Chain A
Amino acid sequence: MAPAPSTYSVITLNVNGEKYTLPVDHRTTLLDALREHLDLTGSKKGCDQGQCGACTVLLDGRRAVSCLQLAVAAEGRAITTIEGVADGERLHPVQQAFLDLDGYQCGYCTPGQICSALGVIEEHAAGWPSAVTADVRPEAGTPSLSAEEIRERMSGNLCRCGAYVSIVQAVAQAAEAHTAQSHTPETHTPETHTTRTGTAEDRSAEAKEATA
């Protein structure tokens, strides 16, 4: 029988390019370490069960839910939170797109939405297919980032205000800017009141098909 192990460690976290050394009880999630120990409260605690996406951060450049990530296990990884997304006072194009297109209402889920959108844009640029991609074979190429693709890829981020229509538009605009490698993000023109489409019609389309 092994001796009782120590239940805390002194760890160093690399957050937004800064190194922070802190003692943590091993039970501490990365989300709690960020919010309660480092005072980086941009990442939000929604469900604390990995289901809502409000706590989304980037780990080594990939989006992850920080509520299911133990802080001690994040040592050595590059952590990017919403506080590290902008370039000083200059907003990241994804942030600007959410502002321009009202991609939020109360704003609680927004940091997670934006971090997730950053991941979506990189994953799409890397050629990753999604669950709604008709043909996943590499020869079929990368699907365009349609509204359907964005909705699927962003489905790990819930918005209780229901700002999904604007969120999809914001992600689409940011992705276009990324593709065009725009160097002039301040020229974004706000596009408000574009056509709103229902979000329910495609829900359970699969189920209807299979149970019909």
Chain B
Amino acid sequence: MREFGYERAVDVSGAVTLLDTDPDARFLGGGTNLVDLMKAGVERPARLVDVRELPLDRIESAPDGGLLIGATVTNSDLAAHPEVRRRYPALAQAVLAGASGQLRNMATVGGNLLQRTRCGYFTDVTAPCNKRLPGSGCPAIEGEHHNHAILGASEHCVATHPSDMAVALAAFDAVVSYETAHGPGELPLADFYLPVGDTPHLETALPSGALITGITLPPAPVATLSRYRKVRERASYAFAIGSIAAALDVRDGVVRDVRLAFGAVSSRPWRATAAEHALRGAPADAESFAAAADAELAAAEPLPHNGYKVTLIRNLVVAVLTELTEEAAR
């Protein structure tokens, strides 16, 4: 590991000033991903600015009925919060589906959004990787890619974003707030992650040196009937091979409103807008759900070893929306 300086930020303006003056510095939250990547030599910061003790650890109800979630709220506190569990149950479920109890106690909301892919070529510094070393190539396309992207990938990178939390946030139209040395800003989650294209090393639209300060969840009555379902290769403590966050409002057998986002299928949490469009006003039955999934998955470009994800996501859409329809009828 490269040697590094360490400073503990006491306020947001001090934190962003420190990063503004040192392009080799990184913010340290819970460290569950960054420290691991530093050990592997993937991340080599010259300085860490510890932001864990910044006063950004609150979850508050917004006047309009939404929620404001501070960037240093831990995954554990997010998933345990009564208003998260009541108003956005799929978000609590998504967070609980990720990592282990120990890691959820350490990891922060801001860090969760910025965690890096677990593609084995990205984390292996002896391998080429366009995300880690631009222009060096992508061995996954011809190699090990059974858990890589089927949507929105490019010939330069097929890695997936590993977050469960971000999938639920995408479904609920979250907005990311940040601060820089030159002022604050906001990014809807839909615009937060950049398209892969030929620049897979550029992952987010955050300005250089920006510190995520919080997430705003707009009010979403539809989210009270929501669910996160994660499929993985063992029962617990593993990254998804496919996941879904879904919310449904059904009246008289007709879909009034629906939210759908998929995880482990793209470089970003994948908001399924085509499926949502197909479903609004449609009968709430398995046939409609399958047709909506097919509408979204028409854009899928599976590789030789990850075509199963198309079937998996389709089945998840049908299964979870069917369950939510039954729950709505109770």
Contact B106 A137 (CB under 8 A): no
Chain B residue, CB-CB nearest to A206:
B231
- A2, A6, A211: the one within 8 Å of B312 (CB): A211
- Report chain B residues within 8 Å CB of A70: 6, 28, 31, 35, 48
Task: Check if B85 is an interface residue, CB within 8 A of chain A.
Answer: yes
- Report chain B residues within 8 Å CB of A27: 1, 3-4, 38
Contact B236 A152 (CB under 8 A): yes
Task: Check if B126 is an interface residue, CB within 8 A of chain A.
Answer: no
**Residues A116 and B101 in contact in the complex (CB < 8 Å), given A70-B28, A136-B85, A138-B85:** yes
Among listed B76-84, B155-163, B191-199, B248-256, interface-contacting one: B76-84
- Report chain A residues within 8 Å CB of B8: 73
- Report chain A residues within 8 Å CB of B25: 2
- B39, B82, B100: the one within 8 Å of A138 (CB): B82
Among listed A96-104, A121-129, A174-182, interface-contacting one: A121-129
- Report chain B residues within 8 Å CB of A205: 235
Tell me the chain B residues, 20-36 only, with Cβ under 8 Å from chain A. 21-22, 25, 28, 31-32, 35-36
Contact B85 A26 (CB under 8 A): no
Contact A64 B102 (CB under 8 A): yes
Contact A68 B312 (CB under 8 A): no
- Report chain B residues within 8 Å CB of A35: none
- B103, B236, B311: the one within 8 Å of A50 (CB): B103
Among listed B89-97, B170-178, B208-216, B296-304, interface-contacting one: B89-97
What is the size category of the interface that chain A forms with chain B?
35 or more
**Residues A63 and B105 in contact in the complex (CB < 8 Å), given A2-B47, A29-B35:** yes
Tell me the chain A residues, 163-212 only, with Cβ under 8 Å from chain B. 202-207, 209-212
Task: Check if A106 is an interface residue, CB within 8 A of chain B.
Answer: no
- Report chain A residues within 8 Å CB of B18: 2
Contact B92 A209 (CB under 8 A): no
Our count of residue pairs bridging A and B at CB distance below 8 angstroms stands at 164
Task: Check if B86 is an interface residue, CB within 8 A of chain A.
Answer: yes
Q: How many residues of B contact A (CB 8 A)?
A: 58
- The docked-state distance in angstroms from the alpha carbon of A4 to that of B48 is 12
**Residues A73 and B50 in contact in the complex (CB < 8 Å), given A2-B22, A131-B97:** yes
Task: Check if A151 is an interface residue, CB within 8 A of chain B.
Answer: yes
Contact B31 A211 (CB under 8 A): no
Tell me the chain A residues, 58-75 only, with Cβ under 8 Å from chain B. 59, 62-65, 68-70, 72-73
- B3, B7, B97, B105: the one within 8 Å of A25 (CB): B3
- Report chain B residues within 8 Å CB of A6: 5
Specify which of B21, B100, B237, B315 lies most central, judged by the most chain A CB atoms within 10 Å of its CB. Answer: B100
Specify which of A129, A131, A151, A203 lies most central, judged by the most chain B CB atoms within 10 Å of its CB. Answer: A131
Contact A5 B102 (CB under 8 A): no
- B326 to chain A: closest CB distance in Å? 14
**Residues A127 and B80 in contact in the complex (CB < 8 Å), given A56-B102, A69-B31:** yes
Chain B residue, CB-CB nearest to A128:
B80
Specify which of B46, B47, B106 lies most central, judged by the most chain A CB atoms within 10 Å of its CB. Answer: B106
Contact A120 B235 (CB under 8 A): no
**Residues A5 and B46 in contact in the complex (CB < 8 Å), given A48-B39, A64-B102, A130-B96:** yes
Tell me the chain B residues, 35-82 only, with Cβ under 8 Å from chain A. 35-36, 38-39, 46-48, 50, 52, 76, 79-80, 82
Contact B237 A73 (CB under 8 A): no
Task: Check if A53 is an interface residue, CB within 8 A of chain B.
Answer: yes
Contact A26 B5 (CB under 8 A): yes
- Report chain A residues within 8 Å CB of B319: 209-210
- B329 to chain A: closest CB distance in Å? 16
Task: Check if B316 is an interface residue, CB within 8 A of chain A.
Answer: yes
25 A-B contacts (beta carbon < 8 Å): A4-B5, A5-B4, A5-B46, A7-B5, A27-B38, A64-B105, A68-B35, A73-B6, A119-B105, A127-B80, A129-B80, A131-B93, A131-B236, A136-B92, A151-B235, A156-B101, A157-B100, A202-B235, A203-B234, A204-B232, A204-B235, A205-B235, A206-B231, A206-B235, A210-B229
Identify the 8 closest CB pairs spanning chains A and B, nearest first. Answer: A5-B5, A156-B100, A155-B236, A7-B3, A155-B237, A2-B22, A138-B82, A131-B96
Known: A6-B5, A68-B32, A136-B79. 10 other contacts (CB 8 A): A1-B22, A50-B32, A50-B102, A50-B103, A126-B80, A128-B76, A131-B97, A131-B230, A207-B233, A210-B312
